Amino acid sequence: MPKALLCVSLFIIAVQPLFAQKYTISGYVKDEVTGEVLIGANIYNVDNQNGASTNNYGFFSYTTSRDSVELLVSYVGYQSERIILDLDKDVELNIGLTAGKELDEVVVTADQPIEEETRMSTVTVPVEQIKSMPQILGEVDVLKALQMVPGVQSGTEGTSGLYVRGGGPSQNLILLDGVPIYNASHLFGFVSVFNANAINNVELIKGGFPARYGGRLSSVVDITMKEGNKEKLKGSGSVGLLASKLTLDGPLGDNTTFLVSGRRTYIDLLARPIIKSQSNGDGVAGYYFYDVNAKINHRFSNNDRLYMSSYLGRDKAYSRDESNYTSSGTTYYSKDEFGLKWGNIITSLRWNHIYNPQLFSNVTLTYSRYKFNVFNTTIDEESSDANTNRDESSTRYLSGINDFAAKVDYDFIPSPKHNIKFGVSATHHQFNPGVFAYSSSFESDTTLGKQETSSTELFAYAEDQMELTDRLKVNAGLHASAYSVDDELYYSIEPRVSFNYLLPNRIALKGSYARMSQYVHLLTNSGIGLPTDLWVPATQNVKPQRAQQAALGVAKTIEDFEVSVEGYYKTMQNLIAYEEGATYLSIEESWQDKVVSGEGESYGAELFIQKKVGKWSGWLGYTLSWNNRQFDGINFGEPYPYKYDRRHDINAVGSYSPRKGLEYSANWVYGTGNAVTLPTGRYPGAGNNGSVKHYEGRNSFRMPSYHRLDLNVSWTKEKSWGQRTWTIGLYNGYNRKNPFFIDIQSRGPNEGRQFVQYSLFPTIPSVTYSLKF
């Protein structure tokens, strides 16, 4: 009997934790002043170091079996908050943190230590730090800031394209409030479409992709818009050399907030008098872009919130010549106009619902459109008292892509050791990969080129952020997708796993593996993001792109510095490119008949040292990498370096604020020169000038190395109506003549030919006036 009693007693003791009373603390973490949610804020139990972090909507859930807890709530750039609770039931807790920059003497904490994070290859850059970085012509640019991160390269001088770990710009999943942006560039690639005044959070994922993301091979750029000030109407604006912007946000009643932000360049207005003075007739030419961000959100209850956000952006470059005169009683009028127009429209409608303190859902409906239009219109008219003769003709080249999508995501957090995410998504794509339309007064309309193609993309995912032991954390998941186009069905099963094992001295050993698929391709003729790039679908003849990436590294926090070293290896299949000599203008054949398929390989190592808090902040990044391509129809089928294969990349970013209202910042970048294809000789023949160029191999030469220094200083002063800021910047401070492209020119009669380097940007000063009210 005693033995039986002992066994029962031991069994009760063993299973007691399973039946112990548990309490869940849940809610939102926000900025105390504005009410903006803080994404990635950390909630720690001081006693056992368990905790939780807020999701993309600021929501957290933490379950404990203790009846009293002491929580530490922290977020980078904010004063941490300690909360002590006595628990006898579930608690709903909405926490407001105060921004450290607005306080004179506070202890400002960073976010979760890098050795505690399971995921690797992920970087979050505070928006305020992005705003303080020097930028060309003073225009704050999110994507240019991300180019300063190791493993990310820019394309050509001044452009905002991202080349992440050997991939191209089309292989980046760029999300604005969960909606894909297909063309993220203004000004022919020199400015991105993202207005920093409307942005709350920016996260870059270079590898170890969580299962919830899919559809691209190289990276995820997840950008979240602000929600609007819940306390009072506020505004901010700026006037710079390139563009001006204005943002307004505030409450609409007790439970609704709004935000609207607009930006426009005035290059066309400034250049118009100069162009007109140089024109013989009534000619005019110009370029401009504008964009508008808007968001409204409404809280129906503590458990239900509805958000609607939109973005509209447009670029237009045009040239127009007109003449009008009268001779011998006849009036002659002519007009010739040529131009390019392109832009994005996106809209999302989201519903957040809290089923219980441990289950959070988000239902999203989205629309995304990218459209590109080249147009040319000619009018010739003769009119007299007797009759009028008018000849009008127009030519247009149209391309674009439309997406309609629905998605349901769930966050289930049963305990601090498990954070489970799962969901499904469906997207309907409509592709217009290039159509020429011609019309005139004397001929019927003519349309040439491929007509619209539709496809459907589906995916489902599940992932679990697990703490298996005190030292081992794992994020494991599965992403399954299917793609239907015409009579073809493609599918992909993609395992994703990341782990973090804590070595002695709190050094984190991290690793990841991910498979990815991409069912859309980008055909491009240039390397600077011109809008002639065509989005095309995977078809029966053109297979989806595939990739695999593995990474391994170590990370540690040393005082205020986060230090990480990573090595990665990535392979890519079914990449496409135009055949030699083919372009988007070749309308006599389908785009599918003008491309070749190939493979890619990239590998390298990255060092990242970052300091996020204190008077001094910034980072140092170094990348050592190799990046190759192989296509059967290019370079005789032999592997060759990708155009943006760079052996070495160094990025240094720093800012210093000696006192409130004064900030100095600087960037220095260095990169191995881009790979280029140049002839090594000329032979007599039937080519240009009676000769034929000889090439030894594709991209077998290197441009000179690229480096520059950017400087910035800003003064902020408090006024009775708000604050104003003057910012003075210097791009390319020591006037480095960086290569933009290389051409061949003749030295003179009978003196042979030589390579000539062309540079784009000298030292460029900028002045910006900003205000908040």
Query: If you ran DSSP here, which 8-state letter would residue 102 be given?
Result: G
Residue ranges per structural domain of the chain: 20-109, 122-672+703-772
Highest mean pLDDT pick, 62-76, 101-115, 172-186, 432-446: 172-186
Is the pLDDT at 358 greater than 60? The verdict is yes
Return the pLDDT at 252.
92
444 falls in which pLDDT band (50, 70, 90)?
low
Return the pLDDT at 107.
37
Is the pLDDT at 721 greater than 80? The verdict is yes
Return the pLDDT at 681.
72
Is the pLDDT at 686 greater than 60? The verdict is no
327 falls in which pLDDT band (50, 70, 90)?
confident
- Mean pLDDT (the chain) is 86
Return the pLDDT at 30.
92
The mean pLDDT of 620-630, rounded to a whole number, is: 96
Return the pLDDT at 531.
52
Is the pLDDT at 10 greater than 70? The verdict is no
Is the pLDDT at 440 greater than 80? The verdict is no
729 falls in which pLDDT band (50, 70, 90)?
very high
Is the pLDDT at 468 greater than 80? The verdict is yes
d(CA 380, CA 389): 8
pTM score, two decimals? 0.88
d(CA 321, CA 309): 40
Listing DSSP states for 425-465 in one string gives: EEEEEEEEEEEEEEEESSS--EEEE---EEEEEEEEEEEEE
d(CA 419, CA 54): 11
Return the pLDDT at 634.
84
Is the pLDDT at 526 greater than 70? The verdict is no
The mean pLDDT of 195-207, rounded to a whole number, is: 92
- Tell me the pLDDT tens digit for each residue of 480-496: 999 999 889 999 999 99
108 falls in which pLDDT band (50, 70, 90)?
very low
The architecture in CATH of the region 122-672+703-772 reads Beta Barrel (2.40)
What are 653-659's contacts with CB under 8 Å, separation 24+?
653/133, 653/148, 653/618, 653/619, 653/620, 654/616, 654/617, 654/618, 655/129, 655/132, 655/133, 655/616, 655/617, 655/618, 656/615, 656/616, 657/615, 658/615
Cα R_g (the chain), whole angstroms: 29
d(CA 353, CA 670): 47
The mean pLDDT of 458-468, rounded to a whole number, is: 96
Host H or E run for residue 199: strand 199-205
Instruction: Answer with the residue of higher pLDDT: 578 or 732.
Output: 732
- Tell me the pLDDT tens digit for each residue of 386-405: 788 888 888 888 888 999 99
Is the pLDDT at 690 greater than 60? The verdict is no
Instruction: Answer with the residue of higher pLDDT: 279 or 603.
Output: 603
Burial 486-508 (b: 16+ CB within 10 A, else e): eeeebebebebbbbbebeeeeeb
d(CA 139, CA 136): 6
Return the pLDDT at 465.
94
Helices (H) and strands (E) in the chain, counts: 4, 51
292 falls in which pLDDT band (50, 70, 90)?
very high
Which of 364, 368, 421, 57 lies closest to 212 in space, CA to CA?
A: 421
d(CA 429, CA 562): 41
447 falls in which pLDDT band (50, 70, 90)?
low
Is the pLDDT at 103 greater than 50? The verdict is no
Return the pLDDT at 270.
67
Pairing between strand 243-251 and 234-239?
A: antiparallel
Listing DSSP states for 513-547 in one string gives: EEEEEE-EEEE-S-SS--TT-EEEE--SSSPPEEE
Instruction: Answer with the residue of higher pLDDT: 12 or 162.
Output: 162
Return the pLDDT at 742.
80
Question: Could you give the percent of the chain with pLDDT greater than 70?
Answer: 88
The mean pLDDT of 311-320, rounded to a whole number, is: 90
Is the pLDDT at 527 greater than 80? The verdict is no
Is the pLDDT at 380 greater than 60? The verdict is yes
The mean pLDDT of 606-615, rounded to a whole number, is: 89
d(CA 323, CA 672): 51
Return the pLDDT at 282.
64
- 20-109 — its CATH code? 2.60.40.1120
Return the pLDDT at 1.
45
Return the pLDDT at 109.
44
Is the pLDDT at 5 greater than 50? The verdict is no
Burial 660-670 (b: 16+ CB within 10 A, else e): eeebebbbbbe
Least confident of 108-117, 591-600, 606-615: 108-117
Highest mean pLDDT pick, 266-270, 357-361, 532-536: 357-361
Which of 285, 162, 184, 289 lies closest to 644 in space, CA to CA?
A: 162
φ/ψ of 107, rounded to 5, equals -95, 115
Is the pLDDT at 147 greater than 80? The verdict is yes
